[in-house]
Amino acid sequence: ICRRSRKSPYPMISVAEATNAVISAAWQCSTKRIKMDSALGYVLAEDIQAADPLPPFPASIKDGYAVVANDGAGLRKVSGSSTAGCKPELYSVVSGECTRINTGAPVPPGADAVVQVEDTNLLVEDDDGRVELEIEILKAPFVGQDIRPTGCDIAAGQTILTTGTLLGASEIGLLATVGVTEVLVVSKPTVAILSTGNELQDPNEPLRVGYIRDSNKTTLIALLKQHDFPVIDAGIAKDDPTSLLKSLKSALAQADVLVTTGGVSMGDRDLLRPVLVSDFQAEIHFAQVFMKPGKPTTFATCIYSGQKKLILGLPGNPVSAVVTSNLYLLPLCRKMSGRANYMYTCIRAKLSAPVRLDPRPEYHRATLCWKEGEDLPVVYSTGNQLSSRLLSMASAQVLLRLPPRTEDQESLPENTIVEALLLQF
Amino acid sequence: ICRRSRKSPYPMISVAEATNAVISAAWQCSTKRIKMDSALGYVLAEDIQAADPLPPFPASIKDGYAVVANDGAGLRKVSGSSTAGCKPELYSVVSGECTRINTGAPVPPGADAVVQVEDTNLLVEDDDGRVELEIEILKAPFVGQDIRPTGCDIAAGQTILTTGTLLGASEIGLLATVGVTEVLVVSKPTVAILSTGNELQDPNEPLRVGYIRDSNKTTLIALLKQHDFPVIDAGIAKDDPTSLLKSLKSALAQADVLVTTGGVSMGDRDLLRPVLVSDFQAEIHFAQVFMKPGKPTTFATCIYSGQKKLILGLPGNPVSAVVTSNLYLLPLCRKMSGRANYMYTCIRAKLSAPVRLDPRPEYHRATLCWKEGEDLPVVYSTGNQLSSRLLSMASAQVLLRLPPRTEDQESLPENTIVEALLLQF
Ligand SMILES: [Mg+2]
Ligand SMILES: [Mg+2]
C-alpha cells in the first residue's frame, strides 16, 4: 500500500489513440444461418441473389385497360379483365379490343400499353349495367405505357444485397421479395457487465448505511439492449482480489467482451488492473485517456480458456461509464458484428450559450434543436456536467466534442460551430 | 363495376393535412406498472422522486487523504483509512492527522477536505512497509476540496424524472440510482399488419405463376420491431369482400391500429374503402394525398367491439408502403405511446447532384455523408426512385422532402440545401 505509485504508470493517450486501440483489437464474430424474421439488425455474411425476376411478368402500373398502342385513341371493345393474381396467359388482346386491368395485374399477351381509367369514358354497358362493353380511349397511348416489364425491378440472378449490408426493415423486406427466408449473418458479441465496489448494493434492496445503489449495471445493460447486443449481468464484485477474481472468471467464461465499472482509479482498492495482469496475464493496452469524463478508462485483452477476450474497464461514476460506453463499447460491438459504419456519426451544431473549456477535451452532453430557417441545429447543454450527475446524461441526444482549454482560448462564445456525436434519435 | 367512378371521390390533401388528421385521431394508450428492467423505450406516466440524497454521505472525489483544511500544507499523521462501503462514522479525523480515503468513500467526521494522492509524499512507513505512518501534504487544501457533499447530485425528495420522459438507458439508470424498480408507463399501441391482393403469396413458398411474394408484411413487421412497437401478423387477404371482411374483423379484434397494404387504388378490386365503410361504418378521413410515392394513402377510424380503432390503408407497392409508414404510422405509434417528440427530426443537407422535380412533392430516399470541413451533410440518392423498387429504400438514412415542380423550377441544381427527415442512425 505504502509504496503504491503516486502517479499512474500508464501513459496518457488521446481519445483517437484509445479508439484505435479498442477497434484494432476487435475481431469479427463468426457467422450463423438464421431465419429472415430474426435477422433485423444483423450484418449479412453472404451476397443475396434473386432467383427469379421482379415483376415475374409484365405488370400494369395503373387501374385501367390493356390495349394495343398502335390502335391510338378512340373506341375499344372490352373483351375481359386481368386482375392481380390471375394467370398472364388467361386473356389475350387483339387490335380494336381491350381488357380491363388492375394495378399489379399481368398485362395479357397482345397488349403493349395500359391506359388509366381516368383517361377513358364508358360508352356501352350491358342491360343490367354489370359489364362494360365498349369504352373510349381519350388520348393515344404509347408502347409500354404504364407497364412494368418483366424483371424491371429486379433481374433474375441479380445480386440484391451484398456481404456487409446491415439488415434494416427494408432489407428484410427485400429478402422476402426474393424468397430468401434464411440468411447467413455475422453473430453479435456477447457482453458481460460487472460492477465493482464495496460501496455498491443492488438497487432492489433498501439502502444501507455507507452504501449507494449500483446504477451502472442497469444503465449499461439497458444501453446494450437498446442497441440490440446480447448482454449478461455479471453482478457486483467487492474490492478484494478474491471476489474480483471469482467474478472476472465467471464473466469471462460467458462473454466475448467484459465491461467493468469502478476499480480503475489510483486508490489502493482499485484492483482491476493488478488482478487482470497477475491472474489473467492480460495485456493492458491503455489505462489513461486525455478526456473528460473518463480519464481512467482501461482497455485490456487476455486469453481465457483458449479464447481471446476484450476487457473495458470503465470508471465507476455513472456519467463517465455511459460516455465511455458510447465512445468505446458501442463502436467495438458494432465492429465485431460486422458493421462497416461502426463509429458515430458526427454532425456540426451551433452553441446556444458560451462554454468554458476544460484542460482536457470534454465530451459534453447536449440536446439539439433545429430552428426554422437555420441550416445548423443549435445545441443545449443538459445542465451540470459534473461527472457523477447522471441527470445530465438523461435525454442527451449528442455528445459535444469540446477542444481542450489553451492560453489563447479559455472558452467558446455563443454560436461557435462545434462537433456533435449523435447518440440517438 | 361499370358505374365505378373514374375519378377518386375523395379530395386530394397535403402531407401536412394528412399528418394532422392521423395525429389528431390518436389517443394516448392506458398506463401500466412495469419493472424497471423492461421499461426501456416507454414513456413515464408519473413523476419520480428520490427518497434519499445522493451521495447519501459526503463522498471523496479522489483517492488520497481526508484532512482538516485549516491545517494547511505539511506533515500529517495517518490515522486509518476510509474505503468505499465502510460506515461513515468509523473513523474521525482530528487536527494534525489524516485518513487514507478512496474515491467514493465517505469522508470521516472531522475532515473537511480531501487531498489527492498525487499532491502528497510518503514520509514514514512502518517497519515492514505495509502501513503508512506519516505523509506530507504538498499544497494547502481548501474547505470542501474534492468532496461531494451529501445530496449534491440528487437532493432527498427531488423530482428526478417527470411524466412524459422517454426512458432511455440513462433514465433507467437513474431509476436504479434512486431505487425505484417499478414504474408507471404509457402502454404502446398494438399494430396489426394485413397484406391484401390476389397476386400475393407467402414468401416461404415456391413462386407460383402470376403471383409475387408478399414483402410488405415482412418489411412493416420488421419496421415496427425496429421501433419497439408490439406487432401482429394479420395475414394476407384476397381481393374479395368476404375474405377482406374476415381478415379485417380478426385484425381489429386484436389491435389498436390496423395497417393494410394494397386495395386502395381506383381498381374494381380495390375494396378496402368500400368494405370499411359498409361493414364497419368507418369514417374515411382521407384517401388521396398530394405526395409521391403514396398518393392513395387512406386513413379511417371506426368503432369495433366498443373500441376505437385506427386504420391506415397504405398503397401496395413496397416503397410507397414503407415511405408512408415512416411518415404516418411511426409518428402515430409514438404519439399513442405518450412520446412528446413523435414527429421526425428534419435536418438540412446539400444535394450531391441535380434532381428533377415531380409534379407532386416527392419523398426521395437518400443517404447522408458528412465531409471534413463542411458544415452541412451531403445527400446521395439511393438510386432509381420508381415506387416499386424497394432496392432504393434499402439503407436509406433520410427521406428528402422535395418541393413539387413549378413552371419556374423544374429541377434543383447541385448543392441546393434541402430538408431531410432522419429515418435512422
Ligand atoms: Mg471503487
Ligand atoms: Mg391490389
φ, ψ (nearest 5 deg) of residue A295 = -50, -45
Q: Report percent pLDDT > 70 for chain B.
A: 94
pLDDT digits (tens, 9 = 90+) for B89-100: 667 899 999 999
ipTM: 0.92
Q: How far is B255 from chain A (nearest CA, A)?
A: 20
Report the first-to-last Cα separation within chain A, whole angstroms. 47
pLDDT band at A390 (very low <50, low <70, confident <90, very high): low
Residue A88, pLDDT above cutoff 80 = no
Q: How far is A344 from chain B (nearest CA, A)?
A: 9
Residue A363, pLDDT above cutoff 80 = yes
* The pTM of the whole model exceeds 0.90: yes
Chain B interface, best mutation among A5, A47, A170, A334, by max B CB count within 10 A:
A170
Tell me how crowded residue A196 is: count the other CB atoms within 10 A of its CB. Answer: 29
Computed over its alpha carbons, how large is the radius of gyration of chain B?
A: 32
Among partner residues A2, A104, A377, which is closest to B199 by beta-carbon distance?
A: A104
pLDDT digits (tens, 9 = 90+) for B219-274: 999 999 999 999 999 999 999 999 999 999 999 999 999 999 999 987 778 899 99
pLDDT band at A29 (very low <50, low <70, confident <90, very high): very high
Residue B6, pLDDT above cutoff 80 = no
Q: How far is B7 from chain A (nearest CA, A)?
A: 6
Ligand lying closest to the C-alpha of residue B270: 2
Q: Does A102 contact B36 at a Cβ distance shorter than 8 Å?
A: no
Ligand lying closest to the C-alpha of residue B103: 1
Tell me how crowded residue A118 is: count the other CB atoms within 10 A of its CB. Answer: 13
pLDDT digits (tens, 9 = 90+) for A124-180: 888 887 888 999 999 999 999 999 999 998 999 999 999 999 999 999 999 999 999
Q: Determine the average pLDDT of the residues in B9-25.
A: 97
Among partner residues B132, B200, B318, which is closest to A2 by beta-carbon distance?
A: B132
pLDDT reported for residue B214:
97
Q: Is A260 on the interface with B (CB under 8 A)?
A: no
Among partner residues B153, B210, B214, which is closest to A389 by beta-carbon distance?
A: B153
Distance separating alpha carbons of residues A103 and B329, to the nearest angstrom:
24
Among partner residues A2, A179, A267, which is closest to B213 by beta-carbon distance?
A: A179
Report CA-CA distances (Å) from B219 to A24, A166, A385, B262.
35, 14, 41, 14
Q: Is A237 on the interface with B (CB under 8 A)?
A: no
Which residue from B minimizes the CA distance to A3? B129
Report the first-to-last Cα separation within chain B, whole angstroms. 47
pLDDT reported for residue B389:
62
Q: Determine the average pLDDT of the residues in A314-318.
A: 92
Residue B118, pLDDT above cutoff 60 = yes
Residue A268, pLDDT above cutoff 70 = yes
Q: Determine the average pLDDT of the residues in B292-303.
A: 96
Q: Determine the average pLDDT of the residues in A351-359.
A: 93
Q: Which residues of A271-306 are buried (b: 16+ CB within 10 A; e: fewer)?
A: bbbebbeeebebebbbbbbbbbbbbbbbbbbbebee
pLDDT reported for residue A381:
82
Distance A102 CA to ligand 2 centre (A): 8
Residue B103, pLDDT above cutoff 60 = yes
Q: Determine the average pLDDT of the residues in A335-343.
A: 94
Among partner residues A63, A396, A425, which is closest to B265 by beta-carbon distance?
A: A63
pLDDT band at A374 (very low <50, low <70, confident <90, very high): confident
Distance B61 CA to ligand 1 centre (A): 11
Q: How far is A317 from chain B (nearest CA, A)?
A: 9
Interface of B with A in 9-28 (CB under 8 A): none
Looking at B162-304, list the stretches that DSSP marks H as alpha helix, in order from N- to C-terminal side.
169-177, 216-226, 241-254, 272-280
Which residues on A lie below 8 Å from B154 (Cβ)?
391
Burial class (CB in 10 A: 0-12, 13-18, 19+), B224: buried
- Cell, residue B339: 412520446
| B39 closest CA partner among B222, B193, B165, B205 | B165
Query: Three-state SS for A265?
Result: coil
pLDDT reported for residue B425:
47
Would you say A357 and A405 are in contact if contact means Cβ atoms under 8 Å apart?
A: yes
Q: What is the DSSP letter of A338?
A: T
Query: Three-state SS for A180?
Result: coil
pLDDT reported for residue A425:
47
Which residues on A lie below 8 Å from B108 (Cβ)?
none
Asked which of A252-256, B51-55, B60-64 is least confident by mean pLDDT, the reply is: B60-64
Query: C-alpha angle with apex B187: B304 to B297, nearest 5 degrees?
Result: 55
Report CA-CA distances (Å) from B363 to A185, B221, B359.
31, 22, 12
Which residues on B lie below 8 Å from A370 (Cβ)?
345-348
Mean of the per-residue pLDDT values of chain A = 92
Chain B interface, best mutation among A82, A136, A199, by max B CB count within 10 A:
A199
Mean of the per-residue pLDDT values of chain B = 92
Distance B200 CA to ligand 2 centre (A): 9
Q: Does B396 contact A170 at a Cβ distance shorter than 8 Å?
A: yes
Q: What is the DSSP letter of A329?
A: I
Distance A130 CA to ligand 2 centre (A): 21
pLDDT band at B381 (very low <50, low <70, confident <90, very high): confident
Q: Is A353 on the interface with B (CB under 8 A)?
A: no
pLDDT reported for residue B5:
60
Distance B197 CA to ligand 2 centre (A): 4
pLDDT reported for residue B388:
55
Which residue from B minimizes the CA distance to A386? B153
Q: Is B170 on the interface with A (CB under 8 A)?
A: yes
